[in-house]
Amino acid sequence: MGWSYRKSIRKGPFRINLSKRGVGHSVGARGARYSRSADGRREMTFRIPGTGLSWRRPLGRRRSRR
């Protein structure tokens, strides 16, 4: 098992995430958040506070219609 590193810095609704792969960021409130990871992936996360239920949707990849 290899080493890992992760640090998160919060300022209001903004969050900067530092990891071994690079720097990512996210913004949002308690129930919804937009995130961009260090490798460029983007996603929206919706949560129901207090229940542990959440739903994630990747952004940026378009599905082709055939």
Residue 58 has pLDDT above 80, yes or no: yes
Question: Sorting pLDDT into bands at 50, 70 and 90, what band is 64?
Answer: low
Cβ atoms of 34 and 26 closer than 8 Å: yes
Closest CA to 61 of 38, 40, 35, 32: 40
Kindly list the distances between the CA atom of residue 7 and the CA atoms of 22, 36, 55, in Å, as whole numbers in the listed order: 11, 15, 24
Pairing of strands 6-11, 14-19: antiparallel
Give the neighbor-by-neighbor strand order of the sheet with 23-28: 6-11, 14-19, 23-28, 32-36, 42-48, 53-59
Q: How confident is the model at residue 63 (pLDDT cuts 50, 70, 90)?
A: low
pLDDT on residue 24: 94
pTM of the model: 0.71
pLDDT bracket for residue 30 (50, 70, 90): confident
